[in-house]
Structure 1
Amino acid sequence: MIRYTLKCDHDHSFESWFQSADAFDKLQSAGMVACTACGSTKVSKSLMAPSVRTETATEKPALTAPATPQEEALTKLRKHVEANSEYVGMKFADEARKMHDGDTPERPIYGEAKPQDAIKLIEDGVPVLPLPFAPRKQTN
């Protein structure tokens, strides 16, 4: 996994995790990387500084760091999506296509899709966006 600091064409900065640099490039070229503030898909990588430990052997790190405004916004977004949408798991691409084609009633859903299935949805004009977080695995 790799974390990138990203910036949209409206100068919003945000971070997101990707499986690899190649995965980021593929998702970005498919228009699937969107700004968490405004939804723009005109996103580029920002300069990033490496994370460096500065504590000495006698200093003890804090148990938890305070949440950044971005982390708080992502937590709020996750709670909203989970409370107001149906989790459909790996059936996301099929369910989104059925709603787009009028074969099933429209409703808010979220889930997971293979990258090639998500790209096909976008190419076919199905209105979908990637979430800036991975869905929690649900067992029921």
Structure 2
Amino acid sequence: MKVLDLHCRQGHVFEGWFASEEDFQDQLQRSMLQCPMCMDVQISKSVSAPRLNLGARQPRHAASAAGSIQPTDAPAVATAELQAAWLALARTVAARTEDVGDRFAQEARRMHRGEVQERAIRGRTSPEEAVRLLDEGIDVLPLPLPEAAKETLQ
């Protein structure tokens, strides 16, 4: 099993597992690989090192002789952690809401009027329609969810 570090044109970094290099190349050529954050299919692989468990880790910041703290690769780590947290949040939202698709505004109004039982929904509507819902006192929150958050990963 090959575990590769992959990235898209927007710089999102994610991991891919493949049976072989040929499997990776085949999926890449058939546009089967997709960024879980932005759905970009222009994917490249980065150099990745095998992970070895050799014991305790050194701290992320090393103190110098003068006592100051010098960051190592904190920005890259923070970006990867933020991407992972965003994807986890998006998956939680997708799992706990009903997708009503293009009927979002209609369903939100029906719940607001008491015509149907309130429930957590998500869907699509235009920005103008979202403003009208807000003007009617209906709380809405624009939240773009990547397609990968709506599916179970294998």
TM-score when scaled to structure 2? 0.44
